[in-house]
Structure 1
Amino acid sequence: MKIHNSRLISALFAIAFGAMQTVSAAAETVRSLDDLAFLEGHWRGGEDFVFEETWNGAEGGVMTGMARGVSSGELKVLEYIVVSAEEDAVVMRFKHFRRDFSTWEDGGPIILMLTDAKENDVTFSADPPSETVKSIRYFKTGENTLQADIVLVEDGEEGGFTLVFDRAD
């Protein structure tokens, strides 16, 4: 009987230890709005096409961003971004607007999830990929420079572009 009890105790210990490892691994992948703090402020880049992003710090469980793109003195795009800390994820939602506040997107916003976060480097990805945006990666390339790599999907083909910003505030 003692042998049976010791096997049971060993099995329970193994299960409990495995569960602790799973919880520990999950804790390592938890993302938060703190991962985005390096984005705070006003960023501006480009020459022929000037693109600006302004990010407000996290408060109330959300971080907000606004963007404007201007070419040859003409507004090309406005964008409003909301990043929220939700129960089990950090979610980015955004829409593109014209000068009259009508949207480019039909229906709801584009939705991306924070899928990778390192110091001064975050990636948001669509899962499943949206019909337009697959991922956006923001990362600092210097003390006062920021880069955004945007991967797009059009007619099933991947493409995209890069924006390079200098701190403007």
Structure 2
Amino acid sequence: MKKYLAFLFCLIISISIAQNTLKYTPVNKSPKATLKQVSWIAGYWQGKALGGLTEEVWTAPMGDSMMGSFKLVVDNKVKFYELCTISELNETLILRIKHFDNDLKGWEEKEVSENFRLVKIENNKVYFDGLTFEKVGENKLNIYVVFEKSNGLKEEIKFSYTLKN
């Protein structure tokens, strides 16, 4: 009975943590998709998250990818950067991210990136493994990301952005 209650508690916690993200499972392979379906992500986006100001810039599709960058500024100092791509690969999409300290020292090894497989795509949402882009208006974008905390628990963080000219 104790094991059942512990399992039920963990299930409820995991469901409540990830309300806006999906997990990739190898059983269901990534759906067919093109960059045209996610071109609405392109723009210069600003918001607040992680205790500071954030900006994310995404280019329009060109070639077989979109390029993005992210910056977090806390107390008027850059905490870290990300360089990102959404690429067409094998008739689907993949999101790749590399992280850098404020002095551009990479977090990942030179040949390694964090890769997020496509799980599902809708008109105003694209779900990658643990990361979702959602267009919530002509000038609004939400990005939901599942972070693993130091204690092993996972937490979904919402980044709310406004399109800047």
Same fold (TM over 0.5): yes
Unaligned ranges ≥5, structure 2: 1-30
1:84 aligns with 2:82: no
Q: Output the aligned Cα RMSD.
A: 1.6
**Larger RCO, structures 1/2 (Cα 8 Å, 6+ apart):** 2
Q: Which has the larger radius of gyration?
A: 1
1:69 aligns with 2:87: no
CA distance in 2, matches of 1:150, 1:40: 18
Name the % identity.
Answer: 24
- 8 A contact 1:35–1:120 mirrored in 2: no
- 8 A contact 2:82–2:100 mirrored in 1: yes
- 8 A contact 2:120–2:128 mirrored in 1: yes
* Counterpart in the other structure of 2:23: none
* Counterpart in the other structure of 1:160: 156
1:119 aligns with 2:123: yes
Unaligned ranges ≥5, structure 1: 1-28, 126-134
The structure with the largest helix share of the pair is 1
Find the partner of 1:140 among 135, 139, 143. 135
> Helix, strand or coil: the match of 1:46?
strand
* Counterpart in the other structure of 2:48: 46
Paired residue total: 132
Cα 1:158–1:92 change in 2 (3 A) is: same
Question: When the two structures are superposed, what TM-score results if normalisation uses the length of structure 1?
Answer: 0.73
Alpha-carbon shift at residue 106 of structure 1 (Å) = 4.0
Question: When the two structures are superposed, what TM-score results if normalisation uses the length of structure 2?
Answer: 0.74
The C-alpha deviation readout for 1:74-106, integer Å capped at 9, x for no partner, is 101111001110124211111111122111234
CA distance in 1, matches of 2:147, 2:101: 20
- 8 A contact 2:56–2:68 mirrored in 1: yes
Alpha-carbon shift at residue 41 of structure 1 (Å) = 0.8
